[in-house]
Amino acid sequence: MASSPELSSLVAAAPADKPLLAVLRGERRDPPPLWMMRQAGRYLPEYRALRATRDGFLGLAYDPEAAAEVTLQPLRRFAFDGAILFSDILIVPHAIGQHLEFVAGEGPRLSPPLANASLDDLQPVLERLDPIYGTVRRVKAALSPQTTFLGFAGSPWTVATYMVAGQGSREQSEARRFAYADPVRFQAIIERIEEVTLTYLSGQIEAGVDALQLFDSWSGSLAPAEFERWVIAPTARLVSALKQRYPHIPIIGFPKGAGGKLAAYARLTGVDAIGLDETVDPVWANAELPAGLPIQGNLDPLALIAGGEMLRNAVERILDAFAGRPHVFNLGHGIQQDTPIDHVDQLVALVKGTPR
């Protein structure tokens, strides 16, 4: 029987199914959707070739055409359900007014470090956010309707650690000392980061992302009371402000290293999903985190490098642990640059292969 014009119109108007977005909104899918942190990056030969044509990492991130190409590259190889914006968490301090450069072999440098400079001396340059919105628009126009587009930013604590020290550090000692010694000044830094991050993420949403991830890569370095003050409270304020503007946009919180503090983070921040790092036992997480809360993770990136039976066993353990709740399969941190391409193919086959 031929469909009526009215039915055809309804079908055409129906939104495309986005499995990843559905899970972030609380629906369980079988098999679970899959994406990988840092999936657009150095393990891909096509990324290395493009990077070689640009003047460093920052030149690549601020080139909307090139950054969009990098964002799309992994989707041409693998059956991922999500695209993650190619950018960097330090775009926010750059917009706040610190000088940013990436030193070959050493990583990012921000100047002046706020450990010995005043926040008030920085002159905001919010125009530095504009190229990122251009990247989002280009990617959105090119994505499959079934692919969820993830924007992101660093959470205030993690961004503050870089702004205070001027670079990354193993234990975030300078920022932790600063927060204890002068919590009023440190609070002012956190609030400035919140303000610009709200602007930045709102711009990403307006340009076309479907969901957001907040990376708190250094949350694990804080004592419990400091974790509540500098991780949970700023994240909760930022999530609340975003939800007031965009209640339909899911937010993933990724407090790396939080361990036993994950349950409090889940209860108090208001995020829609929790990303787990590779050190978290998935069986424990499934038992301790709120029932029905979507969980993302948490394969050890080194298990992906190992491949073979070790990878199979690790994937099975995670899939079994989260079989009864909304789950997004992901790594527990970013993919390593020496990861073999065929091991990623194996991972996709393992996750997508057998309904559970």
Please count the other Cβ atoms lying within 10 Å of the Cβ belonging to residue 281: 13
Peptide bond preceding 33: is omega within 30 degrees of 0, i.e. cis? no
Catalytic, 180? Answer no
Among residues 25, 28, 29, 42, which one is catalytic? Answer: 42
Query: Cα–Cα distance between 205 and 46 in angstroms, integer?
Result: 28
Query: Cα–Cα distance between 274 and 277 in angstroms, integer?
Result: 10
Among residues 25, 28, 29, 51, which one is catalytic? Answer: 51
Helix (H) or strand (E) holding 116: none
CA angle 80, 86, 89 (to 5 degrees): 125
Catalytic, 325? Answer no
For residue 245, what are its two tokens? Answer: 């503007």
- Write out the DSSP string of 169-197: -SS-HHHHHHHHH-HHHHHHHHHHHHHHH
Query: Cα–Cα distance between 63 and 61 in angstroms, integer?
Result: 6
For residue 144, what are its two tokens? Answer: 């499959």
Among residues 81, 88, 216, 272, which one is catalytic? Answer: 88
CA angle 130, 131, 135 (to 5 degrees): 120
- Write out the DSSP string of 65-105: HHHHHHHHHHHHHS--SEEE----TTHHHHHHT-EEEEETT
For residue 152, what are its two tokens? Answer: 């992101």
Polymer length of the chain: 356
Catalytic, 38? Answer yes
Among residues 47, 133, 162, 200, which one is catalytic? Answer: 162
| Dihedral over Cα of 337, 340, 342, 345: its sign | negative
- Select from 50, 46, 43, 105 the least CA-distant residue to 338: 43
Give how far Cα 323 sits from Cα of 29, 42, 127, 252, 344, Å. Answer: 9, 32, 44, 19, 22
For residue 168, what are its two tokens? Answer: 């990354």
Which residues are within 8 A (CB) of 202 and not within 5 positions of it... i.e. 6 or more apart?
242, 245, 246
- Positions marked active-site: 38, 42, 51, 88, 162
